[in-house]
Amino acid sequence: MRPEILNPLFAEVEALKGVGPANAKALARLGITRAIDLAFHLPTGTIDRIRAPAASGSLLGRIVILEVKPFEVRAGQGRAPLRIFAADSDDNTITLTFFNNPGWAKKQLPLGETRIVVGKLDAYGDEWQMVHPEVLEPAASADLALRESVYGLTEGISNKRMRELALTGLERAPELAEWIEPSLLARENWPAWRAALAESHSEPTATSARKRLSYDEIFANQLALNLLRQIARRKRGVPLQGDGRFTQKLQLPYHLTGAQARVIDEIRGDMAQDKPMLRLLQGDVGSGKTLVALRAMLEAVEAGAQAAMLAPTEILARQHIATLQCQCAAIGVTVAILTGREKGRAREAVLMGLADGSIDILVGTHAIFQQHVFYKRLGLIVIDEQHRFGVSQRLLLSEKAERPPHLLAMTATPIPRTLTLTQYGEMDVSRIDEMPPGRTPVETLVISDEKLPDVIAGLGRHLAAGGQAYWVCPLVEESEKSDAAAAEERAALLRARFGADRVGLIHGRMKGPDKDAVMASFASGDLGVLVATTVIEVGVDVPNSTLIVVEGAERFGLAQLHQLRGRVGRGSGASRCILLRGQMLTETGRARLALMRETNDGFRIAEEDLRLRGPGEILGLRQSGEQAFKVATPEDVAELAPMANDDARLLLDRDGGLASERGQAARLCLYLFERDAAVGLLRSG
Ligand code: ADP
Ligand code: MG
């Protein structure tokens, strides 16, 4: 339970003085529902105004407060703007320009009366001009702050009002005991958190205050992850060291890449320890992570343990079992699959085999960790496509065995280096930074969806030449139902063109066996086109499919597009990815798609996407339910995450239960940034 001292800060905005339903509704559009959201709604900058007796060259481009007397109105004809000419105290003429001819402008600027205008002073030809100035009565101008914080706004709330609201939220923020390591605090010369928050509102350019808040947020994140690490590694694990009797017999049609060999060594090194492995394997789409997983699992089996591999989708689980079955049958290792679909006898047989140890390797969806699934000696868990799972799932898995199993998490989401710590701070990281040889890079084209008929014609030629293709339908709103509807519509169109027996359809709403049947006939080549929603995003491997069309490409995250593109280019033939874009595209949207065309390097794409869009949206964070940062910028993360990680680890080394004075303060920090679950770990651990 949240400590009482923080309760006022977590009150709903309606409970605040002077906040009515209208304000609450408007604020909700900005994601602000509680006092703390207001307190953390920090200004994005400041305006500096300058009082001046008259216009002059040195004031050009500045926000100026000027006393003027309007002397002529020139109403705009048609779309021409309304112009009001006014004189300042030096008798300069200032043109006050208003677009859309607002009625209030003429009323507020009566001819011959003195008024104060506030706005950016421009030159217009050899005249002075202000576009859409604020207009005030002379008496009101005395209250005008020369410097004002600028807030992110929404319709119905002015900057002035937003500032009042933010300060009301701030009032609810208590002074709290310090959680930052004293030497670090002294070195950085940061204010205490309450002061830092207040200062961030009053002096948005106060970088040290703002940085402290970023640090607090990153520290909460690092502390939560390191609590996870602590819990996962508290119990002793079982060292697993293979003797090579299976790996030696493994028949591969190719050699390991250097990177694969290196990470296999790292993994074997971890597994030989009695501390359970906690390792993240990052490798771009197609870099050959599955084989690394197989080698790790064989290592476990050779050492007498069982291994389980968790896949995010049924399709992927089935694909893995197909590959593994071939490879393992030949060397005498038993594999089995368990998903929600295994029922009755088949299911019983798998459960028996796991319990009596006759099954060595199990592949499946989260069914493999259900309560009544018992393993004789589970020694290794592999999670494929980790980015599809959240932190809490990582935790759940390690509870499956008495002695915690080794954990290998794999992901193709190319996370920028700077974000790896904040996403997977509790793990050691290995990277496959080399592609298997002989791959031809996928050629990527960005085409306007006006050209849809041409693209379909091109698809026809591709099929006639014996090729296969994926057709990915756009993300629709967030409801699976409409995704499915869009896919069905597109499939109908393509079926009319290429024949019903050549076009398959797969989406998340379909029943498992139906999906399998479609996948199987696509893999066997019976189907030429597979129309799909993003269910094919992860892992699917059909090397003969060398064309992928993605509709509504601008709606996808770049990491996701990169994943989708990774479905082709898996054989040695040339492959092509066509990104169909809508006709209304923002500047950023254009730049993002151009980047996809320019590079096949997943890490570069991730870094750039981060730069173009900000950290919250990338990485499918929402998909996996992980939180993005609200204060810390990517630059802050890059700079502060290593420090915060050290700080958090040091604190936990000394005070694993967060019981000391500083430990208690650190708990507050976890609550403040809503890492409540991490505090929960302390209780269960
Ligand atoms: P991912 O890392 O995306 O999971 P996969 O493990 O599915 O990639 O591997 C992609 C393809 O590359 C597979 O068809 C696999 O057989 C092949 N592959 C894996 N390792 C190598 C290698 N060292 N040399 C050549 N091909 C390889
Ligand atoms: Mg894979």
Q: Is 290 in the pocket of ligand 1 (CB under 6 A)?
A: yes
Q: What confidence tier does 621 reach under pLDDT thresholds 50, 70, 90?
A: very low
Q: What percent of the chain has pLDDT over 70?
A: 92
Q: Is 570 in the pocket of ligand 1 (CB under 6 A)?
A: yes
**Tens of pLDDT along 325-362?**
999 999 999 999 999 888 899 999 999 999 999 999 99
User: Which string of b and e fits 479-507 if b means at least 16 CB within 10 Å?
Assistant: eeeebbebbeebbeebbeebeeeebbbbb
Closest C-alpha to ligand 1, atom 17: 288
Closest C-alpha to ligand 1, atom 12: 288
At the top level of CATH, the class of 443-599 is alpha beta
More confidently predicted of 679 and 668:
668
Mean pLDDT (the chain, rounded): 88
Predicted local confidence at residue 175, as pLDDT: 96
Would you list the domain boundaries of the chain?
1-44+169-174, 46-148, 176-235+656-685, 247-432, 443-599
Predicted local confidence at residue 600, as pLDDT: 87
Predicted local confidence at residue 649, as pLDDT: 92
Using DSSP bridges, classify how beta strands 361-364 and 306-310 pair: parallel, antiparallel or unpaired: parallel
Q: What is the dihedral of CA 432, 433, 436, 441, to 10 degrees?
A: 130
Residues 6 or more apart in contact with residue 329 via CB below 8 angstroms:
none
Q: What confidence tier does 617 reach under pLDDT thresholds 50, 70, 90?
A: very low
Side chain identity at residue 191, one-letter code: P
Q: Are 347 and 338 in contact (CB under 8 A)?
A: yes
Residue 319 scores a pLDDT above 90: no
Determine the distance separating the centroid of ligand 1 and the alpha carbon of 291, expressed in angstroms: 7
Q: Which of 541, 575, 600 to mutate to test the pocket of ligand 1 (most atoms within 8 A of CB)?
A: 541
CATH number of 46-148: 2.40.50.140
The Cα–Cα gap between 513 and 490 comes to: 22
DSSP line for 632-674: --HHHHHHHHHHHHHHHHHHHHH-TT--SHHHHHHHHHHHHTT
3-state secondary structure of 427: coil
More confidently predicted of 399 and 570:
570
3-state secondary structure of 362: strand
Q: Is 434 in the pocket of ligand 1 (CB under 6 A)?
A: no
Residue 298 scores a pLDDT above 90: yes
**Tens of pLDDT along 203-245?**
888 789 999 999 999 999 999 889 888 877 777 889 999 999 9
Determine the distance separating the centroid of ligand 2 and the alpha carbon of 412, expressed in angstroms: 7
Q: Are 108 and 115 in contact (CB under 8 A)?
A: yes
* Whole-number Cα distances in Å, 430 to 122, 314, 384, 409: 56, 26, 14, 10
Determine the distance separating the centroid of ligand 1 and the alpha carbon of 395, expressed in angstroms: 29
Using DSSP bridges, classify how beta strands 93-98 and 82-87 pair: parallel, antiparallel or unpaired: antiparallel
The Cα–Cα gap between 557 and 564 comes to: 11
The Cα–Cα gap between 223 and 646 comes to: 10
The Cα–Cα gap between 60 and 123 comes to: 7
Residue 531 scores a pLDDT above 70: yes
Q: Which of 291, 319, 430 to mutate to test the pocket of ligand 1 (most atoms within 8 A of CB)?
A: 291
Average pLDDT over residues 509-530: 87
Q: Is 436 in the pocket of ligand 1 (CB under 6 A)?
A: yes
Q: Is 407 in the pocket of ligand 1 (CB under 6 A)?
A: no
Residue 627 scores a pLDDT above 70: no
Residues with CB under 5 A from ligand 2 (ion): 539
Predicted local confidence at residue 626, as pLDDT: 42
Residue 573 scores a pLDDT above 90: no
The Cα–Cα gap between 445 and 281 comes to: 30
* Among 398, 353, 352, CA closest to 379: 398
Average pLDDT over residues 489-517: 89
**Secondary structure letter of residue 366 according to DSSP:** G
3-state secondary structure of 31: coil
Question: Angle CA(661)–CA(664)–CA(666) in degrees, nearest 5?
Answer: 110
Q: Is 319 in the pocket of ligand 1 (CB under 6 A)?
A: no
* Among 562, 559, 485, CA closest to 548: 562
Q: Is 260 in the pocket of ligand 1 (CB under 6 A)?
A: yes
Q: Are 209 and 408 in contact (CB under 8 A)?
A: no
The Cα–Cα gap between 393 and 386 comes to: 10
Residues 6 or more apart in contact with residue 233 via CB below 8 angstroms:
275, 276, 278, 404
Closest C-alpha to ligand 1, atom 15: 288
**Tens of pLDDT along 412-451?**
876 776 677 877 877 889 999 898 888 788 999 999 999 9
Six token digits for residue 554 = 């601008």
**Tens of pLDDT along 457-497?**
999 999 999 999 999 987 665 554 566 778 888 999 999 99
Q: Is 504 in the pocket of ligand 1 (CB under 6 A)?
A: no
**Tens of pLDDT along 17-30?**
989 999 999 999 99
* Among 369, 429, 427, 428, CA closest to 396: 369
Q: What confidence tier does 312 reach under pLDDT thresholds 50, 70, 90?
A: confident
Predicted local confidence at residue 482, as pLDDT: 65
Closest C-alpha to ligand 1, atom 19: 288
Ligand 1 atom at minimum distance from 291 CA? 6
Determine the distance separating the centroid of ligand 2 and the alpha carbon of 290, expressed in angstroms: 6
Q: Is 291 in the pocket of ligand 1 (CB under 6 A)?
A: yes
Residue 309 scores a pLDDT above 80: yes
Predicted local confidence at residue 391, as pLDDT: 58
Determine the distance separating the centroid of ligand 1 and the alpha carbon of 225, expressed in angstroms: 31
Predicted local confidence at residue 477, as pLDDT: 52
Predicted local confidence at residue 537, as pLDDT: 56
Ligand 1 atom at minimum distance from 292 CA? 6
Question: 């300060």: which residue's tokens?
Answer: 167
Same topology, domains 46-148 and 443-599? Answer is no
**Tens of pLDDT along 362-418?**
999 888 888 788 999 999 999 987 766 665 565 556 565 667 889 999 988 767 766
> In 272-329, which ranges are continuous DSSP H helix?
289-302, 314-329
Pick among 3.30.1180.20, 1.10.150.650, 3.40.50.300, 3.90.550.10: CATH of 247-432? 3.40.50.300
Instruction: Give burial (CB, 10 Å; 0-12/13-18/19+) of 138.
Output: exposed
The pair phi, psi for residue 549, each rounded to 5°, is -110, 130
Q: What confidence tier does 133 reach under pLDDT thresholds 50, 70, 90?
A: very high
Q: Is 679 left (phi over 0), alpha (psi -120 to 50) or beta?
A: alpha
**Secondary structure letter of residue 226 according to DSSP:** H
Q: What confidence tier does 624 reach under pLDDT thresholds 50, 70, 90?
A: very low
Residue 90 scores a pLDDT above 50: yes
Q: Is 78 left (phi over 0), alpha (psi -120 to 50) or beta?
A: left
Predicted local confidence at residue 622, as pLDDT: 33
Predicted local confidence at residue 19, as pLDDT: 92
Closest C-alpha to ligand 1, atom 10: 286
The Cα–Cα gap between 664 and 593 comes to: 47
Average pLDDT over residues 148-174: 91
* Among 247, 334, 264, 200, CA closest to 636: 200
Using DSSP bridges, classify how beta strands 115-120 and 63-74 pair: parallel, antiparallel or unpaired: antiparallel
